[in-house]
Structure 1
Amino acid sequence: MSTPTQRSGRPRKGEETVRRDQLLDQAMQLFAEHGYGNLSLETIARTAQVSLRTIYNQFGGKSELFGAVVRRVSDEFVASLPLETGLDRPIEAVLVEFGCFYLGRITRPACTALRAQIMAEAARFPEFAAEFYRNGPERTLVRLAEFFTLQQGLGFVAEMDSHFLAGQFLNAVRGERFHRQQLGLETPPTEAETEAWVRQVVRHFLNGCMLQPAAN
């Protein structure tokens, strides 16, 4: 009886995607554990069980690989904030949903560890910091600014710099609690805590904190 032969040759497209995702997962974990300067591509290749040639062919180098790691995380943020399709829903509901997703992701231990490494090594490796900002925070900021611009066009948001609005909202969502978590003074919030925090942020962001003067 003949035995089945193993298929040789290049992996199928779906398999390539899975292998790429696995490589990025391993790389993110290693960057979070070791930082940028102390981590070699050889270590990443060995841990991910791929060849150095594969990394160079797919990404170009360590800086570009790190950019791809961050970009994949920010892809989730960008996809979670609808633009045209979000115009059919109340702005408060869209911002709460996005804020919960955003805060839930950035407070994951792997993400906070990675961010801590970035802050520690930014001065020594400016390309490391640049890749992080360009592929992560900047993309999220631009997407949110586009959302506010559309809301301004509908007359729901005051006319002002939409990038300023986006930055203020993201800073409010991260808040002091995220800063404490980065310092190891607080554990990641639960889903219920995240939602309660974000709802409060959105309510304050949209309405402000000053009371309107009473009519005479």
Structure 2
Amino acid sequence: MGVDAGKVRKGRKYDQVIGGARDIFLREGFEGASVDDIARAAGVSKATLYNYFPDKRLLFMEVATGQCHAQAHAVLAQVDLARPPREVLPVAAKAYMRFALSPLGTAMFRVAVSEAARFPEVGEEFYRCGLGMVRTYLVDYLQGAAERGEVRIDDFEIAAEQFAMLCKAGLWTRRLFGLDRDVPDAEVDRVIDEAVETFMARFGV
């Protein structure tokens, strides 16, 4: 369920509105997306759009959280969680980081941070469906890997946080500050491969 779900109406054109908004947000980001363009892409009137979503912030977070859930399911579909960490961690991390570094991923982070003071639920929802979801999946996976004797970890939550931060090293901050508008896949792969090596050097058996 998205942010401020009580203010979001569901109806026969809901998916149509979400689809059009997703296309525009992916292309223009949050600030660059106009309500006129979103309505046009969705094939609805502005009145209909506002009837479903009273403001652009609600619509953006509904799109963004939906993308987060879709991305999480896509990652899980790519990996066999019964496989060892050296196989699972790089695949899952690369899929997650490519979304986090995408125009929608960075726009979602910026909006959540800028609106968190006025609308705490935005920050809560962003964490829950983004970093929080990744953390939960990673903790569950590492616990299973520990039971199989593949890693030795005392505090799974700290280990999960550390791995996530290792995967962002040198990529996330530069992307947020606009220093890297496009991050090559080869660079993402290089950073994550090093993150896996560092993590396994600390926790591997």
TM-score, normalisation: structure 2: 0.73
TM superposition shift of 1:93: 1.6
Equivalent-residue separation in structure 2 for 1:32 and 1:74 (angstroms): 16
Give how far 1:97 is off.
0.8
1:34 to 27, 31, 36: 31
Identify the match of residue 163 of structure 1 among 157, 163, 173.
157
Give 1:34 deviation, angstroms: 2.7
What is the rounded CA distance, in whole Å, between the counterparts of 1:121 and 1:54 in structure 2?
Answer: 22
The reply on whether 1:129 has 2:123 as its aligned counterpart is yes
Q: Which residue of 2 aligns with 1:193?
A: 187
- Tell me, in whole angstroms, the C-alpha distance in 1 between the residues paired with 2:40 and 2:24: 11
Matched, 1:120 2:114: yes
Q: In the aligned structure 1, how far is the partner of 2:19 from the partner of 2:81?
A: 32
Which 5+ residue runs of structure 1 have no aligned equivalent? 1-9, 210-216
Output the aligned Cα RMSD.
Answer: 3.6
What's 2:201 paired with?
207
Cα offset, 1:189, TM superposition: 1.9
Question: Which structure has more RCO (C-alpha within 8 Å, separation ≥ 6)?
Answer: 1
Give the AA of the match of 2:150.
Answer: F
Match of 1:85 among 80, 86, 100: 80
Q: Deviations over 1:146-187 (max 9, x none)?
A: 111111111112232322222111111112321121011223
* Preserved CA contact (<8 Å) 2:24 2:37: no
**Structure 2: where are the runs of 5+ without partners?**
1-10
1:200 CA displacement: 0.7
Q: Is the 8 A contact 1:67 1:135 kept in 2?
A: no
Secondary structure of the corresponding residue to residue 86 of structure 1: coil
Opposite residue 175 of structure 1, the aligned amino acid is A
Which structure has the larger Rg over C-alpha atoms? 1
Counterparts of residues 1-216 of structure 1 (less than 5 Å): 19=16, 22-26=19-23, 28-29=25-26, 32-34=29-31, 45=39, 48-50=42-44, 65-75=59-69, 76-81=71-76, 85-87=80-82, 89-208=83-202
SS, match of residue 181 in structure 2: coil
Q: Normalized against structure 1, the TM-score is what?
A: 0.70
The Cα of 1:95 is off from its aligned counterpart by 0.6
CA offsets, 1:35-91, max 9 Å, x none? 9xx987x9855653336667867x89877644432332222134413699321x331
Q: Using the alignment, how far apart are the partners of 2:179 and 2:18 within structure 1?
A: 32
Q: CA 1:191/1:43 → structure 2, altered by over 3 Å: closer, same or farther?
A: closer
- AA aligned to 2:117 is A
Alpha-carbon separation, structure 2, partners of 1:159 and 1:69: 36
C-alpha distance in structure 2 between counterparts of 1:180 and 1:144, whole Å: 25
Shift in alpha-carbon separation, 1:92–1:119, aligned structure 2, 3 A:
same
- Secondary structure at the residue paired with 1:176? coil
Q: Count residues in correspondence.
A: 191
